[in-house]
Structure 1
Amino acid sequence: MSPSFKILRFMTGAALLSASAMAVAASGAAPQFDVQRIVTDIKTLASDEFEGRGPATPAEAKTIGYIAAQMKAAGLTPAGDKDGWFQDVPLRMSNITGTPALSMTIGGATQPLAQGGEIAVRAAETGQSSVKFADLPLVFVGYGVKAPERGWDDFKGVDLKGKIMVVLVNDPDFEGGEGDFGGKLMTYYGRWTYKYEEAARQGAAGVLVVHESEPASYGWATVKNSNTNTMFDIVRADPKAAHTQMEGWIQKDLAAKILAASGIDFEAAKAAARKKDFKPIPLKATMSADYAVKSEIITSHNVAGLVRGSKYPDETVIYSAHWDHLGIGAPDAKGDTIYNGARDNASGTAALLELARAYAKGTKPERSVLFLAVTAEEKGLLGSEYYADNPLRPLATTAGVVNMDGPFGVEKTTNFSISGAARLDLLTMLTEEGEKLGRHYTPDARPEAGSFYRSDHFPMAKRGVPAISFNPGRELVNGGAARGKELGDIYTRDRYHQPADQYDDSWDTGSWAGDMTLLYNVGRRVVDGHGWPNWSADSEFRAARDVSAAQRK
């Protein structure tokens, strides 16, 4: 899909949605939202008392208890397991114990590596109690992509058993902006999660992703903070089929040094990796590692509350947001160890609660509305992945999902967007509702960041459920897109996944009421209609949705 992607107002198959069928009932007009109440929820959830809302920490019980109490006070019905507020989410929790001993021998010289410095390795998610290997050879595998439908194979049959893959982040198209992978629009092949999965399929002993801020879409601080703390994964029958024993990232300068010792220029290697005829390059470097891993199965929780529909109670629309953040971690330059996660994602959780109040107190919706606060998003969308595998409400009769991850603009905006790029009726409807409020849709400003695969709507989307993750846009009334980009870049650099993501009384809440109204209106349009939104005919998610069509009437 081209980065000049424009929204298509299409009407297809079972998703033919007449204006009358999908119109918002007059009595369902958007309520007045209490911005101060939203602020209170954010300040509470992002306070030091909640210790960064880490799953499986004492802060989890406090966090999910608060969310459930707010849902109960709003008048929702418990919708979790066994008629309670919570859905149990079993996860494998893994921690490196002590300081890992890491080193590389590059061109004959041994160099120790500092965890969080030149390298960031994750606790093994294979269930093993230690990681210990010596002098395993490194192999540069370009972008590490095997995509038969594109005629692309970076591995060319090379045996990687007992070897460490060194792989570039993002897609082969990122640098040139065009090619077999849709230009700047990142495909799933560009995500680090895919690189890890493919390393396991290739039988590699480990994988190191080369960090560069532009193709990764975040700085090294984010990599360090996200990878050197507690790791979580869904409970797998064979975790070694999905993970190698060592997964991690290295800084670009270290990667360039490794390649240089092998007589290869880093930029030349990247250029070669952009071509189909690329072949893996054995490097004159080896790696050694020795560290203990504590692994155990724990139970985290999603929180679920329902407003039951008046006419079609067995049909569902979902609003979702993740409640978790990074918890307590390494201190920043000021010595702060609490990763408060105010924008990411106390703000989305607060929006979820305010929408729940509006639906519960307002005109009865025709379809049921599920308000779902999910766990372990920061660990790989695990709470939403578990829900999608174990839905509390059938996916076939879930009409749509609206996810909220940082849903409020830094100031009032004239536009809005979604995370990533997709074509579906739900986006058409969002665009139409935005236009009624004097706002226009703008495609994701950074399609190369792969945002579509980084929010909790994605596990639902890949199973065919029409799903979007709302983005408030950054074309500011005061300063336009340029200033919006500047402020967004500052947040990413200085606060994202860092202790500095805290609530500040100086926050501008001018966009919040409008953002809430748009979120409410698009959901209400689906809730009070009996049509079934779908994906575009050429969407990769359309086939999965069509398979379940017989269950929808």
Structure 2
Amino acid sequence: MKSGLMCGAAFLLGAAPVFAQTAPSHFNATKIAGHIETLSSDAFEGRGPATPAEDKTIAYVSAKMAEAGLEPAGDMKNGARGWTQDVPLLRAETVGSPTITLNEGGSTKTLTQGEEIAVRAPLDGTKAIDIRNVPLVFVGYGVTAPEKKWDDFKGVDVKGKLIVVLVNDPDFETGAGDFGGKAMTYYGRWTYKYEEAARRGAIGTLIVHESKPASYEWATVKNSNTNVMFDIVRENPKASHAPVEAWIQRDLAVQLFRASGLDFDGAKKAAQSRAFKPMPLNATLSIYLKAQSGRIVSHNIAGRVKGTTHADETVVYSAHWDHLGVGAPDAKGDKIYNGALDNASGTAALIEMGRAFASGPKPQRSVLFLAVTAEEKGLLGSEYYATHPLFPLATTVGAINMDGIQMLGLAKNFSISGSAKLGLLDDLIAQGAKVGRTFTPESHPEAGGFFRSDHFPMAKQGVPAISFKGGNDLVDGGTAKGEALAADYTKNRYHQPADEWVPGTDLSGAVQDLDLLYTLGEKLANSREWPQWSADSEFRAARDKTAAARK
């Protein structure tokens, strides 16, 4: 769920209420619960890529796909497809505790990894960070957007410096402006800010964490950035990664600005204008961090129902199987990040979606069920598939991603991650209307959900793609209850060891959602429809380039 990545549902504790089904379902809540309970158990150790838990996960998911009636759809080996697709990755892990020293206004302070600062193991191809007294400069939101006549750098050379940047977009605070108001653009994502620093030759980036614009608490930042890091294998990693990629707490940023005679809130306000100019800070930072790094191979898992008349055309359902593995202990001493909602639940849904298609009338088009790796490390498994597809993207009809499923009971509405204008969403809305459910645009577009789930790499390649989200307008409790429970999950369980399976969790809403997604995929798989992006979509041009392959 991220790049990480944030789910839109939460756990409802206690006895599950009973809801009447309006029509026979294709799905069984007990089967779904069994998969979640197994995959999120301590035995699977948080499903970290390139750990023994990956082997367990692959064995379980592929066995259940076979049991459901799917055929292997992975890499060709010895003349036949297997269940997995090799995904080569760079793996980097911090060795011991880094030494981090801040010098501000002549006074020296030692920073603690995971407390005031979270420094990632280097992904630029080196095996250590060793910087001494590197100057800091505040560059606002760190955005260069010529099409918006916006440049936060104003010609300032940041080579040899650490840039301090704000998370999200310049108009997040005001809700209006050049960057879509509250809805985050890619310029607001932390991945963009790291990339821009590398393009400009900076030593690195310090992103100031604030819970609202980031859409998650510091615990999520710490847990996601101080453990094992991964990246796709790049020909020139230094072009995408500066040596230092880190976050700092807001309180530390306030202190830094004060030592430089600046007011943090005032500087943030100034950064919301295109007239903003970089502000040098009266501070330097030294970091020594040793890392182990090397190439490993993780795996996507793929099963398929082969089409009867148009087998070369593919509808894709996806979900990421990975989570954070074993990491720093929480207050209770728990070190296993079980990832029940995120995303054992989506993997469970994927297996059962495969069963529904395999046990019913065979579709005209093929349907692929893709469990991808390393989502939590930056959508890496889906990025690899999107650039090394098992089946041609030109004849991929659409992609439906499941990152977390509904665990709050029945809902009157449904949503998707982020905002998108495309025919695939129109189809989903139409199918929902048939069963009396309404589409609600994402309630928190400032969270940048469109860029944080595994449909995004497919969209970048032009494939019509959405990531489904369960509704927040609950039959029992309405939107007030739905929003409160989702916020509680984000604060207390998201990317924390507390994301565990709770027996008695209500999965009636999950069954409801999966029936909806099944009817959407079935319609696509038995039609000649080719969903398209809107004419003004940034993904339309990539899709149009392959138009000749679609009949």
Normalised TM-score (structure 2): 0.94
Q: Give the match for residue 496 of structure 2.
A: 498
- Cα distance, 1:133 vs structure 2: 1.1
- Cα distance, 1:30 vs structure 2: 7.7
The CA distance in 1 between the partners of 2:272 and 2:367, in whole Å, is 46
Q: Which runs of 5+ in 2 are unaligned?
A: 1-22
Q: Any conservation in 2 of the 1:409–1:474 contact (CA below 8 Å)? A: no
- Cα distance, 1:512 vs structure 2: 2.0
- Cα distance, 1:508 vs structure 2: 1.6
The CA distance in 2 between the partners of 1:509 and 1:347, in whole Å, is 10
Q: Any conservation in 2 of the 1:200–1:241 contact (CA below 8 Å)? A: yes
Q: How does 1:43-192 map to 2 (within 5 A)?
A: 43-82=37-76, 83-192=81-190
- Cα distance, 1:509 vs structure 2: 1.7
Q: Give the match for residue 231 of structure 1.
A: 229
Q: How does 1:214-225 map to 2 (within 5 A)?
A: 214-225=212-223
Aligned letter for 1:47?
A: S
The CA distance in 2 between the partners of 1:318 and 1:190, in whole Å, is 28
- Cα distance, 1:31 vs structure 2: 4.9
Q: Give the match for residue 418 of structure 2.
A: 420
Q: Give the match for residue 241 of structure 2.
A: 243
Pairs aligned (count): 525
Aligned structure 1 segments of 4 or more residues deviating by more than 2 angstroms = 29-32
Aligned letter for 2:466?
A: I
Q: Does 1:519 align with 2:550?
A: no
One of 288, 293, 296 as aligned partner of 1:295: 293
Q: Any conservation in 2 of the 1:409–1:473 contact (CA below 8 Å)? A: no
- Cα distance, 1:501 vs structure 2: 0.2
Aligned letter for 2:490?
A: T
The CA distance in 1 between the partners of 2:128 and 2:539, in whole Å, is 39
Q: Does 1:319 align with 2:313?
A: no
- The one-character-per-residue Cα deviations of 1:18-73 (angstroms, maximum 9, x if unpaired) are xxxxxxxxxxx985311100000000000000000000001000001111111111
Q: Any conservation in 1 of the 2:407–2:505 contact (CA below 8 Å)? A: no
- The one-character-per-residue Cα deviations of 1:312-363 (angstroms, maximum 9, x if unpaired) are 1000000000000000000000000000000000000000000000111110
- Cα distance, 1:409 vs structure 2: 3.9
- Cα distance, 1:510 vs structure 2: 2.3
The CA distance in 1 between the partners of 2:289 and 2:26, in whole Å, is 55
Q: Any conservation in 2 of the 1:424–1:535 contact (CA below 8 Å)? A: yes
Deviates most, 535-544 or 384-393:
535-544
- The one-character-per-residue Cα deviations of 1:228-278 (angstroms, maximum 9, x if unpaired) are 000000000110000011101000010011111111111100110011111
Q: Give the match for residue 4 of structure 2.
A: none
- Cα distance, 1:226 vs structure 2: 0.3
Aligned in 2, Cα 1:235/1:30: closer, same or farther, shift over 3 Å?
farther
Aligned letter for 2:29?
A: V
Structure 2 counterpart SS, 1:511: helix
- The one-character-per-residue Cα deviations of 1:165-216 (angstroms, maximum 9, x if unpaired) are 1000000010011111011110000000000000000100011100000000
Aligned letter for 1:48?
A: D
Q: Any conservation in 1 of the 2:346–2:403 contact (CA below 8 Å)? A: yes
Q: Give the match for residue 400 of structure 2.
A: 402
Aligned letter for 2:42?
A: D
The CA distance in 2 between the partners of 1:414 and 1:492, in whole Å, is 22
- Please, what is the CA RMSD of the aligned residues? 0.9
Q: Any conservation in 1 of the 2:323–2:376 contact (CA below 8 Å)? A: yes
Q: Which runs of 5+ in 1 are unaligned?
A: 1-28
- Cα distance, 1:506 vs structure 2: 3.2
- Cα distance, 1:407 vs structure 2: 2.2
The CA distance in 2 between the partners of 1:301 and 1:509, in whole Å, is 29
Deviates most, 428-437 or 30-39:
30-39
Q: Give the match for residue 430 of structure 1.
A: 428
Aligned letter for 2:61?
A: I
Structure 2 counterpart SS, 1:483: helix
Q: Give the match for residue 364 of structure 1.
A: 362
Q: Give the match for residue 469 of structure 2.
A: 471
Aligned in 2, Cα 1:356/1:222: closer, same or farther, shift over 3 Å?
same
